[in-house]
Structure 1
Amino acid sequence: MTDITVRPLGEDDWEDYRSVRLAALRESPEAFAATVEEEEAFDESLWRERMQRSARLVAEREGEAVGVVSVGVARASEGVAGELFGLWVRPEARGSGVATRLVTDSASLAAERGHSHLVYWVGTENGRAVAFASGMGFRPTDYRRPMGVVSEEDGEEEVAMVLALGNDSGPQLRL
C-alpha cells in the first residue's frame, strides 16, 4: 500500500479543491445537498471565498487526490466546537485508511484552532458511517436534524456525533 499524505489547502489551491469536490459530487450525489451542476457553475471568486470560510484538507496517494474533508466552526457553538463536514473518499481508496487519516488530521487541526470538540453529523440509518465515527472516538448526542438529502442509506435525519479534543471534555455543547 502506498503512503497517504494529507495536506491543507489554501486559497490559492482552490482549483485542487474544486477538482476533488466535483469528483465527490459526481460519484456520490446522494451524499451532498449541492449538485455537481450547481458547483460547476461557480466562478473562481466563489471558490476562493469557500477556501477562506473553512479549512479544506485533501488526502493524496502518489500525487493523486483520493479524499477530501472540510473543517469549520459548528453553528451556535460560540466557536467552542469545530465541525467536520464534506468527508469523501474515492471508491477505490475506501477501506484503505484515507478517511481515518483525514479525520485524524482534521481533529488535530481543530484542536490547534482552539476547539474543544469536533462535531460530525451522520445519517442515523448509515450504520457504516456511525460505526466509523464511533471507532474514531466520536460519541452520539441527543441532537438530531433533518437530512439535507434524504437517502435510503442515511435515512431521514442525522445525529450529531461529538469527539472531545484534548484531555478535557470541555464545556457542554449548545448546537
Structure 2
Amino acid sequence: MSQNLHELVVRLTVEEDWKTLKAVRLESLLDSPDVFSATYATAEKYSESQWRDRASHKTQYQYILAIEGTRAVGIIGGTQNSALEFNVVAMWVKSEFRGCGIADLLISAIKELAISKGHYRIVLSVSPHNLRAVSFYSKHCFVFIPEWESLALSTGEKNQKMECFLSPLSNAKRVDINN
C-alpha cells in the first residue's frame, strides 16, 4: 500500500511522548511477538512513570519515533549494552506503512544517534530466518558476526548478532533526529 508521507517526522521521544511510545511499543509487540526479546506481557505492566522515564531517556533506552500526522507509525530504540556496544532494539514499522522508506529513515536516525554518543559501531540481533529483516539490515551495511543472543525467542530459536561500522562522514543524507 502506498502512503502519502508528507507529514512524516522522525525524532527522539520526549517525556510528553510517553503515551505514544507506550502505544506503538505495545502494538509492535502484539503485531510481531516472535521477533522481539521483550514481550507484550512484560511491557504492558510498565507503570506510567516507567513509560515517562523511557520516553525522556532516564533509562538506558533511547527511542526514536516515526510520526505521520498525529500517530506513530514506526519505532526504533538504542541502548548501550553490557559490552558497551550501541545496541539497536525495538525496530518496527506499522504494516500498512512498510515499504515506504520509513524503516530507512529510522535506521539512519539511530545511526546518527549512535554517532552523536561517540559510537562508530552498532549491533543488533535478528533471526537469520527473518529474511526480510536480514535483507533490510544488510542493505544498511550490517553483517552477521558469530555471536548469538542467549535469550531464546518464543519460537525457541536464537537471534544472531549483526554489526555495522559507522563513519560520521559516510552518510550522504543526514537525518535530523531532533526535529
TM surpasses 0.5: yes
- AA aligned to 2:5 is T
Secondary structure of the residue that 1:75 maps to in structure 2? coil
- 8 Å contact from structure 2 (residues 76, 88) kept in 1: yes
Number of equivalent positions: 162
Alignment pair present for 1:61 and 2:62: no
Aligned to 2:165: 164
Instruction: For residues 24-70 of structure 1, give each alpha carbon's deviation from its aligned partner in whole angstroms, at most 9, with x where no partner exists.
Output: 12222222333334322321122223332211100012232110010
Structure 1 residue 142: Cα displacement: 1.4
Asked if 2 retains the 8 angstrom alpha-carbon contact of 1:25 and 1:32, the reply is: yes
Pairing 1:104-123 to 2, within 5 Å after superposition = 104-123=108-127
1:22 equivalent among 23, 26, 36: 26
Code of the residue aligned with 1:61 in structure 2: it is E
Structure 1 residue ranges (4+ consecutive) displaced by more than 3 angstroms after TM superposition: none
Query: Are the aligned partners of 2:35 and 2:126 in contact in 1 as well (CA < 8 Å)?
Result: no
Q: Which amino acid aligns with 1:30?
A: D
User: CA 1:116–1:37 in structure 2 vs 1: closer, same or farther (change >3 Å)?
Assistant: same
Q: CA RMSD in A?
A: 2.0
Alpha-carbon separation, structure 1, partners of 2:116 and 2:40:
32
1:72-91 residue pairs with structure 2 within 5 A? 72-77=79-84, 81-91=85-95
The 2-side partners of 1:163 and 1:41 are apart by 33
Q: Secondary structure at the match of 1:149?
A: coil
Q: Is the 8 A contact 2:151 2:158 kept in 1?
A: yes
User: RCO greater where, 1 or 2, for CA within 8 Å and sep 6 or more?
Assistant: 2
Q: Which amino acid aligns with 1:160?
A: K
Distance 2:107 2:168 in 1: 18
**1:74-110, Cα deviation, whole Å (9 max, x unpaired):** 3213xxx311111111010111111111000000011
Q: Which residue matches 1:48?
A: 52
Amino acid at match of 1:144: W
Structure 2 unaligned blocks of 5 or more = 170-179
Counterparts of 2:138 and 2:37 in 1: how far apart (Å)? 24
Identity of matched residues, %: 31
Tell me what 1:173 maps to.
none
In structure 2, relative to structure 1, the CA distance for the partners of 1:34 and 1:158 (3 Å cut) is closer
Residue identity matched to 2:77: S
Q: Is 1:2 aligned to residue 16 of structure 2?
A: no
Letter in 2 for 1:2: L
Q: CA deviation at 1:10?
A: 1.9
Map of 1:127-142 to 2, 5 A cutoff? 127-142=131-146
Gaps of 5+ in 1: 169-175
Q: Which has the higher helix share?
A: 1
